[in-house]
Amino acid sequence: MIMNRRVILFDIDKTLLNPYLILKDLGNEIKNKFHKNVDILEVHAEYVKKLESSTDFDAKDFLIFLSKKTEISFDKLNKYFYNSKLWESYVYEGTKELLDKIKFDFDLGIFSEGFDVSQNEKLEMSKLDIFFKKDLLFISRRKLNNDFLKTLPKKAIVVDDKKEVMETLKQLRPDLELIWINRTNDEKMENVKIIKSLKELENFI
């Protein structure tokens, strides 16, 4: 890593990848191919309800749960779910082009919450992994844990979709430059840069 290059850390879900499309496509596959009338959002909500945190979501565990609910074999659901071509389509528009451009001026990394294996699978299947340095993959079951936050590079830029993350980092890591990707409304935050799309990021770094 070149010492004089700044680090940019990205969240994954709802920042780089659109998780809503993943569920939508899975639901359509169940309905159209397997002819099962199942509300995928209800099944997902039921699964998440039994977790300690929504970020404890484990794809294979969810597919096992879904298999029992739909009586569709796990192998068939698993084969559909782990499809790189599908996952590449879940990347927000313009994201790969942006990363490909800024990788020459910044060291790019990940700041994500969840299971390490699951989050890395998402990056690999969506072909986003090629943009991020392996020593800058900060993934934790509880990424706002104070001890974990201390491991983030000093004065890094952090891009995340969650307001809670921005508020916590402002308090515990004031050295970081924060960029909130707020796709839902026009809310502002003091000392935090706001973007609506990753396409706008280049104007703020």
Residue range 32-36: mean pLDDT, rounded: 92
Q: Are 149 and 123 in contact (CB under 8 A)?
A: no
Q: Are 112 and 141 in contact (CB under 8 A)?
A: no
Question: pLDDT tens for residues 95-145?
Answer: 999 999 999 999 999 999 999 999 999 999 999 999 999 999 999 999 999
- Classify residue 6 by its DSSP letter: P
In terms of Cβ atoms closer than 10 Å to its own Cβ (0-12, 13-18, 19+), residue 154 is exposed
Q: Token pair of 156, please?
A: 């890094």
Question: pLDDT tens for residues 92-103?
Answer: 999 999 999 999
Find tokens 């935050």 and name the residue: 189
Cα 157 from Cα 190, distance rounded (Å): 16
Q: Token pair of 198, please?
A: 């990753």
